[in-house]
A and B are shown apart, each in its own frame.
Chain A
Amino acid sequence: MSHKLLEVSDLLIEADIDGVWKPIVNSLSMTLERGEIIGLIGESGAGKSTFGLTALGYTKPGCRIVSGSIKLDGVDLTKMKEPQLRQIRGDRVTYVAQSAAASFNPAHTLFEQFAESAVQHGKMTMAEARERSVELFRQLELPDPEHIGERYPHQVSGGQLQRAMTAMALGCDPDIIVFDEPTTALDVTTQIEVLGAIREAVKARNVAAIYITHDLAVVAQMADRIMVLRYGDLIEEGDARSMLINPQHEYTQKLLNVRALRETRKDHNEDNVQLSIENITASYFGPNKNVLEDINVDIVKGKTVAVVGESGSGKSTLARVITGLLPPSHGKIIFNGTELKPALSLRSKKDLQSIQMIYQSADIAMNPRHKIKKIIGRPLEFYLGMTGKQKDERVLELLRLIEIPEEFAERYPGQLSGGEKQRICIARALAAEPELIICDEVTSALDQLVAKGILDLLLNLQKELGVSYLFITHDLATVKSIADEIVVMYQGKVVEQGSKADILTPPHAPYTELLLSSVPEMDPDWLTNLVDKRKRGESPTSESIET
């Protein structure tokens, strides 16, 4: 009788949540054939990582497998002892983690880490391992494959590191590779390169893979089959193509619709400029290392300007300059007709009040030891002089405005979900009654559906209160749904700016083209087509931009 390569049946996993065992994976089953890629998709807390990792016979600390079996070639991993499992891991089943930067040991070269598991498993000698590493590094399109192995992890980029990790996973010719969100931490433009390289390598070697991600468009490029998970339950399972065309479950449909473009109003009133950034140049370390060079941006009252760019483009530095955290070396900022003082400490309370900021990680943007009512109440007290009952009532009013139940006022940030926390941060910014809110990647730490809720809220608030937004993001889908004006930044310079319609309709500046073409689409053939186009030189690549 022939076995499937991997057969997981009725797996029930429980986790220790504050001393109580609660199920986080409810009797899930999965089969995997040789050479097949299965995509596990869901929001955070869906149990997708926990479930995916069981292919390694592994559960995270604080979790336990209660019942069910995990059969690899007919052998049950749940009945194996730790030493036997260690033989399988890194040899027959391997793992690629989300953050390669955190998973590599900074004290060893890439090659040393590549060779470690292969040699330890007795698969090859050091010399063979070296040959093999070069071969795999070449296949994953790493630059200078002969010598890149001698570098240390900090000497290569994030995307290259993620590919090196995939090479490592392929090192022992495994049967299965588990990819746990391998591109989530990367920029869109880098993500393409890594996705392409991973797919080629996996297909070429006929390895089966479990691909865990929260991004449906990404999984559409990679997987043959998709399992949609939510709260540890299977929502829908099926062939990747047919699921994208015809999703059965309401939840899958919602996930698909997140990326749908919404048309927003397009009236323009250029006279009413609220904030004007003029010839700003700024640097952290002396005049020769400018992070921003000669930036000019205008923000019209009641409108949203989106600043787009990948990490290192200087978009967050721009926010620091506007808020006064980093005084510019050159140029000035005009706010409502008067020049803002360059440094935070010189600005008046009124100036501080009218520009508020919302951060990327709501987790660390709120003091974990303050109750929600204090977090929202403090700006009221500080700027508006509210106290006692008046303040408490205004806090409740703000909570209603951001669609959060009133009883949350007595809670601490730790008791809230990611989306709720971000809403509280919005309320804190609104409490000051600002004229401009700077949103620094406010949705990038959130699940897609939650992020959509936040964007909707921000748009509604703008309609009601007439605040302007400076929206800093690397996510073009966000830009499409919220921006009036777009500023595209690359290496500290503005490469293109204009109204949303102008920027999003061709012809594009080469870098804008690269960014736009890199956003994954739901079409399963998208990656294949794009890679072909780039090879033919019809679409720009990172290398062609740099030269």
Chain B
Amino acid sequence: MGLLKLFWSLNWGARFGLLIVIFFSTCAIFAPWLAPYGQSQIVGDVWEPLFGKFVFGTDQIGRDMLSMLIYGARNMIALALLTTGCAFGLGALLGFLAATMRGWVDQVLSRFVDMIISIPTLIFALIVLSATGTAIPWLITVIAIIYAMPVFRIARAVAMDIEVMDYVEAARLRGEGLWWIMREEILPNAMTPLAAEFGLRFCFVFLLISGLSFLGLGLQPPLADWGAMVRGNADGIAWGYMHPLVPAACIALLTIGINLVVDTAVQKASGLRDDQ
């Protein structure tokens, strides 16, 4: 079968990464069927031990850690995907616009992006979110705007290279409008670098959401999320409980997995080979 063959043609890093991504995606998609309990259901005592009655024990108020991790995967991945998607829609659109129109449009957009990018990400998010509140639409909007900025820069640089190609000139000579040139001439040729960037940005977004949750500004209970789980269980460290390390490991594992896959994808797309 084609897919299996493709899998075996990958190096071990990519295989490992792919398995991680598939594992967590499965958890996310089938969460209600996989999780033994609900994500906010109190099922036992506080901090029941790991690998006992509950596989990953229970948290600081007695919820099942395994169920929370599974639901957490679903909440976090969905949120990060949606946010990264918005960031890419916005960033790529503006980037292409700047590259195709050049002149003052490019200047205004680029300087605006320079300005936003000069503000430290986490601080910017904290300030805006503490003013707007932590409703999910706000969370998505704020993080999407933050990450649209680096996407803008990449999209603009890639589009600039494409824009000088004869086929874009041919389209202009034909009299094609701006929208056609961006959608039909530039976008398909910018897809590869943008897709690679998507994988990387997804990790950043994921980590930022975890960080915000850790600080209490991310997803709010009863929705489970890994950052908040680290925060909630953090006090347990003092009593020798390993519980906060489990969600932390999940965050690390998923981001590493995605990075491994992205690395290989970029390598394949750019035509580089292992033996070179």
Nearest chain A residue, comparing its CB with the CB of B9: A19
Encoded as 1 (CB less than 8 Å from any B CB) or 0, chain A from 371 to 394 comes to 000000011001100000000000
| Contact among A325, A369, A382, A428 with B175 in the assembled complex (CB-CB below 8 Å) | A382
10 A-B pairs whose Cβ atoms sit less than 8 Å apart in the complex? A61-B276, A324-B173, A344-B172, A349-B175, A352-B173, A357-B170, A357-B173, A359-B166, A369-B188, A432-B174
* Most-contacted residue by chain A among B167, B169, B185, B191 (CB, 10 A): B167
Chain B interface residue number, banded: 10 to 19
Q: How far is the CA of A37 from the CA of B173 in the complex (A)?
A: 48
Q: Are A369 and B172 in contact (CB under 8 A)?
A: no
Check B174 against A382 for contact (C-beta < 8 Å). Answer: yes
7 extra interface residue pairs, beta carbon distance < 8 Å, beyond A365-B166, A369-B191: A365-B167, A365-B170, A367-B188, A368-B189, A378-B174, A379-B174, A428-B170
The answer to whether B114 has its CB under 8 Å from any CB of chain A is no
A364 touches B166 (CB 8 A): yes
A353 to chain B, nearest CB (A): 8
CA distance A325 to B170 in the complex (A): 11
Contact A325 B167 (CB under 8 A): no
Q: Which 4 residue pairs spanning A and B have beta carbons closest together?
A: A369-B188, A365-B166, A352-B175, A367-B167
Residues of chain B with a CB closer than 8 A to A352's CB: 173-175
The total number of A-B Cβ pairs within 8 Å is 46
Tell me if A99 is interfacial: C-beta within 8 Å of chain B: no
Contacts of A365 in B (CB 8 A): 166-167, 170
Chain B residues packing against A (C-beta within 8 Å): 165-167, 169-170, 172-176, 184-185, 188-189, 191, 276
Indicate if A361 sits at the interface (CB-CB under 8 A). Answer: yes
Find the A residue at minimum CB distance from B170. A365
Minimum C-beta distance from A487 to chain B (A): 22
Q: Report the separation of the CA atoms of residues A494 and B166 in the bound assembly, to the nearest whole angstrom.
A: 27
Report the bound CA distance from A366 to B167 in whole Å: 5
Q: How close is B38's CB to chain A, nearest CB, in angstroms?
A: 47
Total count of chain A residues near the partner, CB < 8 A: 25
A359 and B170 in contact, given A352-B175, A382-B175, A382-B176 (Cβ under 8 angstroms): yes
**Beta-carbon contacts under 8 Å, A319-339 to B:** 323-325
**B188–A323 contact, CB under 8 A?**
no
* B162 to A, closest residue via Cβ: A367
A359 CA / B174 CA spacing, docked (Å)? 14
From known contacts A367-B185, A369-B188, A369-B189, infer whether A323 and B170 are also in contact, taking CB-CB under 8 Å.
no
| B173-A325 in contact (CB<8A) | yes
Instruction: Give Cα A347–Cα B176 distance, bound, in whole angstroms.
Output: 12
Find out whether the CB atom of B167 lies under 8 angstroms from the CB atom of A364: yes
Interface residues of A in 456-472 (CB under 8 A from B): none
Q: Per a CB cutoff under 8 Å, which of B173, B184, B276 touches A323?
A: B173
Q: How far is the CA of A383 from the CA of B185 in the complex (A)?
A: 18
| Residues of chain A with a CB closer than 8 A to B165's CB | 364
Chain A contacts of B189 at CB under 8 A?
Answer: 367-369
User: Within 8 Å CB of B176, what residues of A?
Assistant: 382
Contact with B along A435-469 (1 / 0, CB 8 A): 00000000000000000000000000000000000
Chain A nearest CB: distance from B191 CB in Å?
A: 8
Q: What residues of A have a CB within 8 angstroms of the CB of B175 in the complex?
A: 347, 349, 352, 382
**Quick one: closest B residue to A367, CB to CB?**
B167
CA distance A432 to B176 in the complex (A): 13
Q: Which residues of A contact B167 (CB under 8 A)?
A: 364-367
Q: What is the CA–CA distance of A349 and B177 in the complex, to the nearest angstrom?
A: 12
Roughly how many angstroms separate A160 CA and B20 CA in the complex, as a whole number? 58
User: B276: which A residues are within 8 A, CB to CB?
Assistant: 61
Nearest B-chain residue to A425, judged by Cβ: B170
Closest residue of B by beta carbon distance from A361: B166
Task: Evaluate contact between B166 and A325: CB separation under 8 angstroms.
Answer: no
- How distant is A10 from chain B, measured CB to nearest CB, in Å? 27
Contacts of B173 in A (CB 8 A): 323-325, 344, 352, 356-357
Chain A minimum-CB-distance residue to B188:
A369
B198 to chain A, nearest CB (A): 18
Note all chain A residues with C-beta closer than 8 A to B188: 367, 369-370
Minimum Cβ distance to chain A for residue B206 (Å): 30
Residues of chain B within 8 A of A61, CB atoms compared:
276
